[in-house]
């Protein structure tokens, strides 16, 4: 019983030492981030079997809540177009066919993880860097074909970001949306022509974007205690 009490007292003492340091590190940190992005979009599916083919423009915006220097939650919306070629009578891509396009609007929420503690002008932690690679994943919904069709997807991505100042930064990211649909093509010949949907998840469409973005961080945290010092 005494060992248990000693263990509890030790844990509480360690917690009391850890919490003020955690609070002090959070003082002065921006909590919100707003960004604008532009780049290109393409898809891999029945009418476009290879990556980086028939690329079209894409643009969007994002809003993030920054939990700490590694984790954040991001909500983003992206509008763009995908393109492919009209099929042959057998439902295969025709190299000489006419190019079609389809407008997409994607909305997704993702969790983002920085490989390095990310920030700028940190006086107390030399591990914090003004640049970091990062990864993210989450859930999303795509509206396409004149807003008459909807498809859920799993967004996964990798990127690199850097801080330009206390409030401004930039990033580049490559995102792949693993869609739960095979109907992004406007021609019905492409939609499950080989009857693989359901039995082969690899037969579903994948929509990808490469985005360059500029972000603005704001909503600086207030001081938690009168003994904490501002970091900036």
pLDDT digits 0-9 by tens, 80-127: 999 988 877 666 777 777 889 999 999 999 999 999 999 886 666 778
pLDDT grade for 213, boundaries at 50, 70 and 90: very high
Residues 206, 212, 217: CA angle, nearest 5 degrees: 115
Distance CA 128, CA 68 (A): 11
Q: Quick one: average pLDDT of 21-44?
A: 78
Instruction: Give the ranges where the chain is alpha helix by DSSP (H).
Output: 2-26
Could you tell me the pTM of the whole model?
0.79
Using CA atoms, how far apart are residues 32 and 34, in angstroms rounded to an integer? Answer: 7
- Write down all domains in the chain, each with its CATH number in brackets: 2-220 (2.40.160.20)
Q: What is the pLDDT of residue 23?
A: 42
Backbone angles phi, psi at 208, to 5 degrees: -125, 150
Confidence of residue 141 (pLDDT cuts 50, 70, 90): very high
- Quickly tell me which residue has 């501002």 as its tokens: 230
Given a cut of 50, whether residue 20 has pLDDT beyond it is no
Structure tokens at 173: 């990211």
Q: What is the pLDDT of residues 155-199, one digit of tens each?
A: 999 999 999 998 999 999 999 999 998 888 877 767 655 555 544
Is-contact 224 73, C-beta < 8 A? no
């Amino acid at each position: 019983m005494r060992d248990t009490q000693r263990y509890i007292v030790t844990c509480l003492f360690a917690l009391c030492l850890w919490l003020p340091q955690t609070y002090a590190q959070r003082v002065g940190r921006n909590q919100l981030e707003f960004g604008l992005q532009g780049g290109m979009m393409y898809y891999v599916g029945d009418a476009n079997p290879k990556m980086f083919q028939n690329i079209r423009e894409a643009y969007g915006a994002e809003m993030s809540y920054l939990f700490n220097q590694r984790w954040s939650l991001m909500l983003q919306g992206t509008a763009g177009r995908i393109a492919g070629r009209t099929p042959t009578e057998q439902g295969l891509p025709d190299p000489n066919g006419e190019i079609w396009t389809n407008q997409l609007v994607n909305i997704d929420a993702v969790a983002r993880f920085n490989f390095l503690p990310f920030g700028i002008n940190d006086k107390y932690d030399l591990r914090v860097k003004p640049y970091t690679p990062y990864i993210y994943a989450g859930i999303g919904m795509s509206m396409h074909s004149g807003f008459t069709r909807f498809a859920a997807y799993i967004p996964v991505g990798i990127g690199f970001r850097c801080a330009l100042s206390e409030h401004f930064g930039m990033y580049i990211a490559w995102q792949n949306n693993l869609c739960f649909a095979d109907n992004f093509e406007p021609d019905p010949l492409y939609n499950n022509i080989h009857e693989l949907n359901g039995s082969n998840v690899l037969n579903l469409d994948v929509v990808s974007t490469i985005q360059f973005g500029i972000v603005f961080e704001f909503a600086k945290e207030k001081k938690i205690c009168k003994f904490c010092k501002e970091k900036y």
